[in-house]
Amino acid sequence: MKHLIIGTAGHIDHGKTTLIKALTGRETDTLKEEQERGISINIAFTFFDLPSGRRAGIIDVPGHERFIKNMLAGISSIDIVVLVIAADEGIMPQTREHMEILQLLNVKKGIVALTKSDLVDEEWIELVTEDIKKEFKGTFLENAPIYPVSSKNKNGFNNLIEAIDNATEEVESKDTEGHFRLPVDRVFSVSGFGTVVTGTVISGKVKVGEDVEIYPSKIRTRIRGLQVHEKSVDEADAGQRCAINLANVKVDEIERGNVISKENVMEPSYMVDTKFYYLKSADRPMENRQRVRLYHGTEEILCRVVILDKEEVNPGEEAYVQLRLEKPLCAQRNDRFVIRSYSPMHTIGGGSIIEPVAVKAKRFDEKYIEELKLKESGQVGGIIETTIKKLSSNFPDFKAIVKALGKNEKSLQEEIDALVEGNKVVKLTALGEPLYVHKEFLQRSMDRLQEILEDYHSKYPLRPGLSKEEIKEKIFGKGLKQKIYDELLDMVVKNEIIDVHGKYISAHGFQIKFNEVQEKLKDKILKEYQNGKYTPPKFKELLEKEKEKEEFKTVFEALILSGDLVKTDEECIFSKSNYEEAKDKIIAYMKENGSITPGEAREILDTSRKYVVALLEYFDGEKLTRRVDSKRVLYKAQ
């Protein structure tokens, strides 16, 4: 079923609240001050049933200029407006400001109710009607029906109700497939139930028992109960006025302007990128970094306007602007907003949000502005690709992409899959839950990797390469999960960009090449350690015999790194074949006897305790063995 919200708008004392009472039989001015002063101060809500059987929610907003903030909190979620103009006064200042706000919020359907028509004659009504048509030419109310009505004697009410009913048929259905989202307009406590919030469900649906989150505080809570039009329900849909009983939340932990939504789908931001329209009625150009008031949903936030593509914005012009906020905002792409001047307060413009979680932008940055134009165009594939490109360094999953988009784009998974198939996005699956990175990000990372390796090989031609961990930190930082890193390395190896040798990475095809002098030193060193068997020579003693000490050190280090020599500690170094032979003998003994002591190992290898202990401790570090009291046992069955 299509759910609808009808809102009133118009100048103070033009009869909005009286009209609603005549339509519904309910009084919406419930505050004592409202009743005493005869004016609406806060927004109010009720409902009535249309002849078609549809039940419509009604929002009554204050008309006084001092309460425009409250008016904006109510009017932001309406489908149809009934613009109320008193026949005896005609169009007044707040009529115009309310109309500008409705235009900025992209309200598309409306009806004009010419109230207090019993106070004037037919000729006067005709004059006022002509004024209204002239005033609203070029707006969404240009061809709207105008109905003279009297709340006192109900004249004209049947025509007005029929017009409202007809208009509801033309209203687009709300987005029930997107994220549940409800901007809070009232918070109060009910004895025996606890905290209750009210608002209009602007997208998605919610059920009793579901977990939700309060933004921007990110307090998590649960739906204890739901009411729609004063009746308890199990589910509320987009387009319905709704009261929500929240579990384990205090009244002072939530306020008007907060948003209730699903967990972990929105991100509060101190900056949003927008397309801004500056009203023709503005009395001077909008200056860069001008302080203004932002109205979004039910929220009011002070902010600065950073104009990205112009020096200043003249009345009647559009511009790309970044709003830098004094407290965080939770918005989604394409949300509408209104801007009012800081002081004195009056409406000066508004527009739509392009990027709800923006980064600090430089003015006149052509690349940044082009990205905004792409996002503004609504080309879903391009927007998603740009979003993944921006998030790639964090290796986002599906939820992170949804969150960054600020809107649950329809068929999002299909769009991402299409980008993967089109070789623009790479899908990583090592963790089970797929992660997505842009091909350009990977290419930049691989280019950087090649540069690092080429530079390293140039400086250290006798080393096998850089360690995996060092490469990981240099390219991706410390936070990348090892399984994803290994998956990336496999990918790069297959593309013949690198080679992996144990814990070292080298450029593809790189080989250590010794010159003639180095080759002789290499053979000499290996022979010394091979002949030393399990009682190898000391490095310092060998070094003292050499004239070319630096060359000797370089070759020696290369043999350690290549694995031709195995360094178990600073003084105990074995040739690779002797090390492997010792390892095989000790493991074979433990398999037969269950354990081995240093003394038994010394007898097997016919060497001193010093070298045996160094070997056994090295085996412990390699998780071949583990110490139990004074013995070693196999780390695990082999």
Cβ atoms within 10 Å of 196's Cβ, excluding its own: 18
Cβ atoms of 138 and 187 closer than 8 Å? no
**Residue 177 DSSP SS3:** coil
pLDDT tens readout for residues 447-486 = 999 999 999 888 888 888 898 999 999 999 888 899 999 9
What are the strands, taking DSSP E only, across 95-230? 109-115, 146-148, 181-190, 194-200, 205-207, 211-215, 219-228
Task: Give the pLDDT score at 427.
Answer: 94
Report the Cα–Cα distance between both ends of the chain, in Å, rounded.
67
- Which residues lie below 8 Å from residue 620, measured CB to CB, with a gap of 6+? 626, 627, 632
Domain residue limits, the chain: 4-170, 181-261, 269-371, 379-513, 516-634
Cβ atoms of 231 and 239 closer than 8 Å? no
- pLDDT bracket for residue 563 (50, 70, 90): confident
Task: Give the pLDDT score at 1.
Answer: 54
Domain 4-170: top CATH class = alpha beta
pTM of structure: 0.67
- Which residues lie below 8 Å from residue 410, measured CB to CB, with a gap of 6+? 177, 178
φ/ψ of 372, rounded to 5, equals -65, -40
pLDDT of 195 > 90? The answer is: yes
**What are the structure tokens assigned to 574, written together?**
């074995």
Percent of the chain with pLDDT over 70: 92
Instruction: Over range 566-595, report the average pLDDT.
Output: 91
CATH topology of domain 269-371: Elongation Factor Tu (Ef-tu); domain 3 (2.40.30)
Segments in 563-608 forming alpha helices (H): 576-593, 598-605
Q: What is the C-alpha radius of gyration for the chain, rounded to an integer number of angstroms?
A: 37
Q: What is the residue whose two structure tokens read 């033009």? A: 14
Regarding beta strands 109-115 and 80-86, do their DSSP bridges make them parallel or antiparallel, or are they unpaired?
A: parallel
pLDDT tens readout for residues 595-614 = 999 999 999 999 999 999 99
Closest C-alpha among 380, 301, 300, 289 to residue 333: 380
How big, in percent rounded to 5, are the helix, strand and coil portions of the chain?
35, 30, 35
The domain 516-634: what is its CATH number?
Answer: 1.10.10.10
- Between residues 1 and 357, the one the model is more confident about: 357
75 to 48, 79, 250: CA distances (angstroms): 18, 9, 27
The domain 181-261: what is its CATH number?
Answer: 2.40.30.10
Query: Do the first three CATH levels of 379-513 and 516-634 match, i.e. the same topology?
Result: yes
Cβ atoms of 518 and 554 closer than 8 Å? yes
The domain 379-513: what is its CATH number?
Answer: 1.10.10.10
